[in-house]
Structure 1
Amino acid sequence: MSSRAIKKTVLHLLEGDDVEEILARLDEFPAKDVIQPLFSGICRVDEQVRWNAVRAMGRAVARLADEDMEGARVIMRRLMWSLNEESGGIGWGAPEAMAEIMVHHPGLAGEYVHILISYMREDGEELFQHGNFLENEALQRGLLWGIGTMAAARPRLLLERGAADDLVKYLHSADPEARGLAARALGLLRWAGAAEHIRGLLGDESRLRLYEDNRVRAVTVADLAHRALDLIRQADPAS
């Protein structure tokens, strides 16, 4: 099948509503053949196509890593480059895709989790520059969703690198989606240090759309704050 035909097939599959069926169908192709069409998918406006592409990118790049680790690193670097101002692009979908890839592949997670965290951090003084802070509000939302996804799958990697502290500032963001997604991530990390901050969101009825469990649904910031506090209390009843 030609690359054009593969792209057409992949983008058509991404329009479906059965995520597991989509992933199974894409697994029939060599991983390297579907990744380029998935780059198109992760930046689509249609949220169903976009989220299906994010999920599929995670699985495809993990498959590629099992066959060709350096090839998978090239994909990770391409996603990182798309978030660099010098790239001339915006990087839509890149933080989400990076996180989903790391959920699926422990080797890539170990190598690149510090990069994902760095997008929450400002640069320090010249000798201590370690931040790549994302200022774009939409990219921040994608990043916080990705951090939450990693928190559910690989919390230790985030906690060991101080990511919980980085998340707290987003609880006070002017953007309700950032507030809600940060609360979700902190709850999934079971980080008691954020409990008092999260309590401040219990009356926040701002609405957002959350992709979780293979579907998008409307929730409020308060919903996510309540859920986060429940998870924290389960881990630390004194919180």
Structure 2
Amino acid sequence: MPSSSGRALKWEVLSLLKERDLPDLLKQLTKYPPQRVINPLIGALCHREEAVRLRAAIALGEVVSRLAQKDLEAARVVMRRLMWMLNEESGGIGWGVPLAMGEILARSPSLAAEYAHILISYLREDGNLLEFEPLQREVLWGLARLARENPKLMRQKGALRYIRPFLDSPDLQVRAAAVSALGLLADSDSVSKIKQLIGDQTGVPVPEGDQWRIRPLGSLVQEALLRLGSDSAAAKDAI
């Protein structure tokens, strides 16, 4: 088991995030007690490289879900810390935090049952709405990640009504993330609105595995419509 000091551990974890492929990264992190690597991973959420932030979010999801299996209260402490980072009183922006929350909840049904409504609340005007559009994107991608694993819970928590308005966002990347989340949730009520975006071929960054890939918005619309079973012929011709 590695026994590095705090500063050395920070650089070890950062090196893993930069240099290892995802399966090897997650394997290497199992060599550390979960609570030892949580601080370095949270620190990496605000790294200047987007790919590092995304990998840190995925790794944090794996580590915290592993922690929750042994010590649920300790995992709750991490969740509360992440929530604090999105609080205005924290003084920070909270880069990567919604992605990490989505990844944690996708990997831990126990934490999802307790905290899914919190992640949704960051889209709610009557909740904890994040008005900064780059964070809105992260919330929506975090919810899309959770929707992929637990769509039933998302619907039970009322996610659909709070995601739908973001199809009208002035921010193209926000709209793209909303399309993906609603497609994964099979929201038939959004079909007509989603169809309006089918011809937009503007490229947007999309989290695929541990990388951000540039995809035409129209291809995300195509995927959403195919999941919804709506207008399949038009969807196949969208890109």
> TM > 0.5 between the two?
yes
- With normalisation by structure 2, the TM-score equals 0.92
Say yes or no: does 1:153 pair with 2:156: no
- From 179, 183, 190, the equivalent of 2:179 is 183
Q: Please, which moves more after superposition, 61-70 or 136-145?
A: 61-70
Q: Please, which moves more after superposition, 9-18 or 73-82?
A: 9-18
- In the alignment of these two chains, the number of paired residues is 230
Separation in structure 1 between the aligned mates of residue 199 and residue 13 of structure 2, nearest angstrom? 42
- From 186, 194, 214, the equivalent of 1:198 is 194
Separation in structure 2 between the aligned mates of residue 210 and residue 48 of structure 1, nearest angstrom? 11
Unaligned runs of 5+ residues in structure 1 are 124-130
Q: Is contact 1:176–1:207 with CA below 8 Å preserved after alignment?
A: no
- Counterpart residue identity of residue 177, structure 2: L
Separation in structure 2 between the aligned mates of residue 142 and residue 118 of structure 1, nearest angstrom? 13
* CA positional deviation for 1:17: 4.9
**Correspondence 1:15-94 to 2 at 5 A:** 15-94=18-97
Partner of 1:126: none
Cα deviation, 1:168-222, whole Å, max 9, x if unaligned, reads: 1111111000111100011111111111110010012222111113332111211
**Correspondence 1:92-171 to 2 at 5 A:** 92-123=95-126, 131-171=127-167
Separation in structure 2 between the aligned mates of residue 133 and residue 79 of structure 1, nearest angstrom? 15
* CA positional deviation for 1:110: 0.3
Partner of 2:236: none
Cα deviation, 1:49-88, whole Å, max 9, x if unaligned, reads: 1111011000111111122211111110010011111111
Say yes or no: does 1:4 pair with 2:33: no
Partner of 1:127: none
Cα deviation, 1:137-168, whole Å, max 9, x if unaligned, reads: 11001001101101101101111122112111
Q: Is contact 1:180–1:224 with CA below 8 Å preserved after alignment?
A: yes
CA RMSD, aligned part only? 1.7
* CA positional deviation for 1:30: 0.5
Unaligned runs of 5+ residues in structure 2 are 233-239
Separation in structure 1 between the aligned mates of residue 77 and residue 175 of structure 2, nearest angstrom? 32
**Any idea what SS the aligned residue of 1:15 has?**
helix
Separation in structure 2 between the aligned mates of residue 75 and residue 92 of structure 1, nearest angstrom? 16
Q: Percent identity?
A: 45
